[in-house]
Amino acid sequence: MAKASQTYSAGLIIRQKEPTNLETPFDQVDSYLTPTDLFYIRSHFAAPRLELASYQLRIDGAVRNPLSLSYQQLRDMPSETRVATLECAGNSRVFLIPQVAGAQWELGAVGNAEWTGVLLGALLERAGLEDDACEIVLEGADRGTPTEEPVPPGPISYARSLPRDKAIQREVLVAYQMNGRDLPQEHGYPVRAVVPGHYGMASVKWLTHVQAVREPFRGYWQTSDYGYWDYLDGKPVRRALGQMKLKSEIARPRVYETLAPNYVYPVFGAAWAGETEVTGIAVSTDGGQTWAEAEFLDPIQQHAWRRWKFDWLTPTEPGRYTLMARAKGANGNVQPDKHDPNYGSYVINHPLPIEVFVDDRTNRLV
């Protein structure tokens, strides 16, 4: 019999109480799949309560046969399962100097889960996607008035579009399960999109409407919010965030942890990328002056993170040390040295400094 005091999850960190924005304590990450009750939650509005009996997924717009499917009809379609890492585009924002507005995520607005559902591409095929449809708009049932300028005149629902080419890829799911169980309320029950390789904002929760459109969707969450500056013939243009960038994070030691001198500490972390593969991890324990290779604990699997470890013989000299990890991708990319200001308060994928203390306490009376 389970003891009453048995603990299953270390719990989440509150970044915002209402709407619910909760962070994974990243130093608690161990397993390849993030347990559902440790998986971060990022919501712009209160979670809507959808009833299974009345749930309908509408698929319309630039399609030959608009259709509406019940929950049971979705469940009766062939299912697919994918492992995918979701990272919020604002993850690690707390590391930016000077501080920027928005939820002050540290390392834990990221997780890796197994998702089960039907292919978005199969639904679009059934609906007869028109040749001139360029994007697919995914809309959730949650509504409210967003806060970032420019603010729309009234309440709107959460909606994001995907380029047609991405939407029909076999990794993109209309999912009803997470880690082998029905989606929890806060993760989009009963049905959500899962867009592997893209930042979390693309994976629309409480999905009720899929609309094919003939011109690019310019909605709030691709313009006011979740946008960045790109350059076209040298001129800055606004674009919507999409693919996740290469990134590695150190889970242990945690920030400002104190370690004993002269022993082997297993530095542990995870690394992921958007559409490419993570092929190498370099770790520095001296603030980026020298680097050594870490060892992967997981094989390459596209769209999923790879955990890694590095055995660090801690210095004999007490003091403050800065650890950093830098991932390399199959396309030859490495993480940039600094945050790119074109991304504003998003895409914080430079090697994050994890400061720790080495202290010999054996001769202290504590």
Angle (nearest 5°) at CA 171 between 334 and 109: 55
Q: Does 206 bind ligand MTE (CB under 6 A)?
A: yes
User: Exactly one of 140, 196, 219, 274 binds ligand MTE (CB under 6 A); which one?
Assistant: 140
What residues between 46 and 105 interact with ligand MTE by CB under 6 A? 86, 88
Stretch that binds ligand MTE, among 36-44, 144-152, 227-235, 320-328 (CB under 6 A): 36-44
3-state secondary structure of 204: coil
Q: Dihedral sign, CA of 89, 92, 93, 97?
A: negative
DSSP string, 270-289: EEE-SSS-EEEEEEESSTTS
Q: Does 42 bind ligand MTE (CB under 6 A)?
A: yes
Q: Which x/- pattern, by CB under 5 A, does the window 181-220 give for Mo ion?
A: -------------------xx-------------------
**Residue 204 interface partner, choices Mo ion, ligand MTE, none, CB cut-off 5-8 Å depending on type:** ligand MTE
Q: Does 161 bind ligand MTE (CB under 6 A)?
A: no
Min separation Cβ 140 and Mo ion, Å: 13
The nearer residue to ligand MTE, 84 or 212, going by C-beta atoms, is 84
Q: Taking the CA of residue 315 as centre, how many other CA atoms within 13 Å lie in the half-sphere pointing to its CB?
A: 14
Number of residues that bind ligand MTE (CB under 6 A): 18
Torsion of CA 95, 101, 104, 107, to 10 degrees: -50
Q: Does 112 bind ligand MTE (CB under 6 A)?
A: no
Contact 104, 94 (CB under 8 A): yes
DSSP string, 135-182: EEEEEEEEEE---SSSPPSS-EEEEEEEEHHHHTSTT-EEEEEETTEE
User: Exactly one of 200, 242, 329, 351 binds ligand MTE (CB under 6 A); which one?
Assistant: 200
| C-alpha radius of gyration, the chain, whole number | 22
**Which residues would be at the binding site for ligand MTE (CB under 6 A)?**
39-44, 86, 88, 140, 142, 158, 187, 200-201, 203-206
